[in-house]
Amino acid sequence: MIKFIYKKSFRPVGHSENIGGYSACFVDKNSSLHELDNFGTKKTLNSIFDTTLVEKVEKFSVDGKCIHLVPNGNGNVNDTFVATLKEGEMKKKYTLQRINHQVFKNPAELMDNFSRVSRHLQTKPGRRCLRVIPAKDGQFYHLDEDGNYWRLMEYIEGVKCLEVPQNRKQAYEVARTFGQFQADLLDLPGKRLLETIPEFHNTSKRFDSFSQALTLDVKKRACSVKEWIDFVQGRKILCDALRTEELPVRVVHNDTKINNVLLDAKSEEGVCAIDLDTVMPGCVLHDFGDLVRTAACPVSEDEMNLEKVIFLPETYEAIVEGYYQATCEFLSDLEIRRLAKAPMVITYELGVRFLTDYLLGDAYFKINYPEHNLNRAKVQFSLLSSMEGHVDRMEAIVAKVCQSTGRIMVG
């Protein structure tokens, strides 16, 4: 049997379209893991974490023998791999994931949410979605002897995901796809979904955690980031800016980064939303805001050159159009009116989370280098500063898109 190896803290990157700079990784015949960055530099990753991933695949109800398994994706929390299984002449790919149970405390219930959402989406004509493969014991996950939770999903072929949109159509499609996702879940039957991470988008709570991390200052990093601490504290008002308690609670995605949508590789039409771990009751504006945060900017959240971090109003317009197209039938006037504010709140929230994690010594997000979380925080704050100069423009764009459909806003 081939032994596949991966490094626990390694941040696998792979099949998405490369704009900002990617690295690929591979396992050689001696089972050593190497990373190949976008400059073609090969480096061997040391202190590799040894596990037999193929055995995990074999716990699921799939036919064939696993002949290939590579790290994939660029998530900050879970570990993702693509496994190729062969049966006779037929080859089929699957996505294997280890659910980070430090972050998701109830993986079994999470998988219950996941499978309910997936089954419901499959009832919608013409839609594609992530499909979970049950384990041989009938559960939707496999719990291994080390206490790790694994899941296997069908791999969707012929698609791509983006780090930044290259044109309006791509931005429109990504936004339409997330909007359609929300629309499709309006009639999800059954009991309320479990909150996989309670208070996930409670910006005030995020601010409180930041304040606590600052008080503790376990790594003695606060003195070197004073400028950014002031930035956060000076914008505390954003914590309550959305006033979500006034808004309807709906089933939302909660992690609408641009790369959590698959587009058809050829037509570039939206195929489906992926990464369903945080699908739970929430506010549509968090989804909208998080998409704008990651899509209406010419660089990814890992960009090192802050001068490149700017808000793109034209892309924002395409996002509003795509999102509105899929959601205008159910969005309330109040929700629409806050589409201009939501991106600033979410960008602030993410900046606060990254800076908090930096102060805590990088306990939550995977990092590739010591200042990674600090740099991510700076990117968010730079983007927020840029957005602040476009508030009127954003309001005008939302009004224009509504008017174009003849919607008359009440109040």
Q: What is the contact mask toward ligand GN1 in residues 336 to 375, using x (rule: CB under 6 A)?
A: --------------x-------------------------
CA distances from 234 to 45, 207, 231, 239, 290 (A): 41, 12, 5, 11, 21
Cβ atoms of 37 and 23 closer than 8 Å: yes
Contacting ligand GN1 within 242-261 (CB under 6 A) = 255, 257
Scanning 63-71, 161-169, 172-180, 252-260 for contacts with Mg ion by CB under 5 A, the matching segment is 252-260
- Site membership for ligand GN1, residue 194 (CB under 6 A): no
Residue 103 binding target from Mg ion, ligand GN1, none, CB below 5 to 8 Å by type: ligand GN1
Cβ proximity of 195 and 345 under 8 Å: no
Q: Which is nearer to ligand GN1, 315 or 356 (CB)?
A: 356
User: Which residue in the set 103, 143, 183, 306 belongs to the binding site for ligand GN1 (CB under 6 A)?
Assistant: 103
Distance in Å, CB of 290 to ligand GN1, minimum? 6
Residue 90 token pair: 């037929």
Say how many residues touch Mg ion, by CB under 5 A: 2
Rounded Cα distance between 178 and 188, Å, is 16
Of 35, 163, 255, 290, the one binding Mg ion (CB under 5 A) is 255
| Relative orientation angle of helices 372-388 and 342-359, to the nearest 10 degrees | 160
- Residue range at the interface with ligand GN1 (CB under 6 A); choices 7-15, 63-71, 72-80, 235-243: 72-80
Q: How far is the CB of 196 from Mg ion (least distance, A)?
A: 10
Residue 213: CB minimum distance to ligand GN1, A: 16
Residue 317's binding partner among Mg ion, ligand GN1, none (Cβ under 5 to 8 angstroms by kind) is none
Options 301, 321, 335, 362; binder of ligand GN1; rule CB under 6 A: 301
* 283 in Cβ contact with 252 (< 8 Å): yes
Rounded to the nearest whole angstrom, what is the least distance from the CB of residue 76 to ligand GN1 in the complex?
4
Residue 76 interface partner, choices Mg ion, ligand GN1, none, CB cut-off 5-8 Å depending on type: ligand GN1
Between 54 and 162, name the residue whose CB sits nearer to ligand GN1. 162
- Contact between 317 and Mg ion by CB under 5 A: the answer reads no
Residue in this structure with the two tokens 């909660």, named with its chain if needed? 254
Tell me which of ligand GN1, Mg ion, none is bound by residue 301, counting a contact when its beta carbon lies within the kind-specific cut-off of 5 to 8 angstroms.
Answer: ligand GN1
Identity of the residue, 275 or 321, whose beta carbon is nearer to Mg ion in the bound complex: 275
Q: Is the dihedral of CA 329, 334, 340, 344 positive or negative?
A: negative
Residue 211 is inside which H or E element, if any?
helix 203-216
Token reading at 356: 């908090």
290 scored as a contact of Mg ion (CB under 5 A): no
Q: Is 405 exposed, middle or buried (0-12, 13-18, 19+ CB in 10 A)?
A: exposed
Near ligand GN1 by CB under 6 A: residue from 12, 71, 75, 107 = 75
Q: Which residues pair with residue 91 across a beta bridge?
A: 86
User: Quick check: 327 binds ligand GN1 (CB under 6 A)?
Assistant: no
**Tokens linked to 359:** 């102060």
Stretch that binds ligand GN1, among 70-78, 140-148, 159-167, 381-389 (CB under 6 A): 70-78
Tell me, residue by residue from 267 to 296, as one string, x for binding to ligand GN1 by CB under 6 A and - for no binding. Answer: --------x--x------------------
Give buried/exposed letters for 287-325 (b at 16+ CB in 10 A, else e).
bbbbbbbbbbbbbbbbbeeeeebbbbbebbbbbbbbbbb
- Among 322, 328, 347, 319, smallest CA distance to 201 is for 347
Q: Please, which residues have CB within 8 angstroms of residue 189's CB and are 6 or more apart in sequence?
A: 120
Q: Is 362 a residue that touches Mg ion (CB under 5 A)? A: no
- 299 near 20, Cβ under 8 Å? yes
In angstroms, what is the minimal distance from the CB of 129 to Mg ion? 16
Q: For residue 163, give every residue at least 6 positions away whose Cβ sits within 8 Å of its Cβ, in sequence order, or none.
A: 16, 17, 18, 19, 20, 258, 259, 300
Check binding of 357 to Mg ion (CB under 5 A).
no
In 98-202, which residue ranges form alpha helices assigned H by DSSP? Answer: 107-122, 168-184
Asked if 300 is part of the footprint of ligand GN1 (rule: CB under 6 A), the reply reads: no
Strands in 32-115 per DSSP E: 33-37, 42-44, 49-50, 65-71, 79-87, 90-99
Is residue 163 part of the contact set for ligand GN1 (CB under 6 A)?
Answer: no
Which one among 77, 183, 247, 304 touches ligand GN1, defined by CB under 6 A? 77
Chain residues that interact with Mg ion, rule: CB under 5 A: 255, 275
**Which residues sit at the interface with ligand GN1, rule CB under 6 A?**
75-77, 103, 255, 257, 275, 278, 301, 350
